[in-house]
Amino acid sequence: MVVCNYNGADYIEDCLNSILPQAGVGEILVIDDASTDGSPELIRRTFPTVRVIELSSNGGPCVARNLGLRAARHSHVLAVDNDTLLRPDVLEKLRAALEADPAASISQVRSVLFDEPERVHYDGANFHFVGLLSLRNFYRPLAEAEGSGVIEAQALIGICALMDRDRVLAAGGYDEDFFYLAEDYELAYRLRLQGQRLLSVEDAIVLHRGGTEGLSFRGGGYPERRAYLHSINRWRILAKNYGTRTLLAIAPGLLLYETVWLLFVIKQGHLLQHLRGKRDFFRAWPVLMRSRAAIQAKRRLPDRQLLVGGPLTFSPSLVESGAARRCAAFLDFCLTAWWRLARPFCS
């Protein structure tokens, strides 16, 4: 069991208290990502059986998760973010699903909103061809959510997932250059390209809090740093993981999305952060191309089997107005239509 913590003093106790009663929990390891709020000391004082490893600098959840996977003493590792609360039997259900499917490397939970537990937050996803997650059951009432039992998932939502450590690390683990945002898309796409399966366990429920201040987004203004990460990380996904024919076939759809997103960041006042992301993307081009070569050499599945053309997922606060909803619907329609045309020509 590995818990990724950064400045989680307000909720790490609740997280660990939900983990301790889980059947077969074994070792609990907290990777602290250079917190400044005293949470490592709080954990040691309140939970003396929990092992804490403190990082000297804040490298983001990818660094912390990879370190946790390498340091864990068991082959199956539950990776948990500190803003989650596990309901009973989550670990047992995830383990049973993973052990029942030899081709699966990850089983993941269905998460609900902490302050509205009858509404789904994250429940697996598909890979939209523009480099975003097309989320399942996003903000849908739990009673109306589609899916039951154990189902195959394309993409990973990294807040709470049981991982086959050796397989995930053999695939390269999380890309630590991502820092935050879309890192679970990128890892899952690499795993799926290699033919590995991901599972969603629909009755393994966790409650998900608000996330990391200044990075997570549920409304109240789009964070500046998130605009930078959105700008660079999407293009990293495309450059590393998609085949050349795929990139050529989807280029018009990508251009449309980029135009709409550029207008959005200008409206939010984050144009400089957006441009800085593109600048840093090109600066890292040689490294990206080396990663690309290694990933493509291990490819077993075509992009056209993994990618989808819709629906795009929007946070409810972004489409509150009628004009925003119409714009989002039109963009989704255009991208879906283009994917139908482009898909046969993809790698």
| Residues of the chain above pLDDT 70, percent | 97
Q: Tens of pLDDT along 298-333?
A: 999 999 999 999 999 988 877 888 888 999 999 999
Global confidence as pTM:
0.94
Query: DSSP 3-state assignment of 196?
Result: coil
Burial pattern 10-26, b for ≥16 Cβ within 10 A else e, equals: ebbbbbbebbeebeeee
Which phi and psi angles does 104 have, rounded to 5°? -90, 140
Q: Tens of pLDDT along 85-98?
A: 999 999 999 999 99
Q: Tens of pLDDT along 209-232?
A: 976 666 666 555 789 999 999 999
Is omega for the bond preceding 311 within 30 degrees of 0, making it cis?
yes
Query: DSSP 3-state assignment of 315?
Result: coil
Q: Which domains does the chain have, with CATH numbers?
A: 2-208 (3.90.550.10), 224-345 (no CATH)
Q: Residue 321: its pLDDT value, please? A: 86
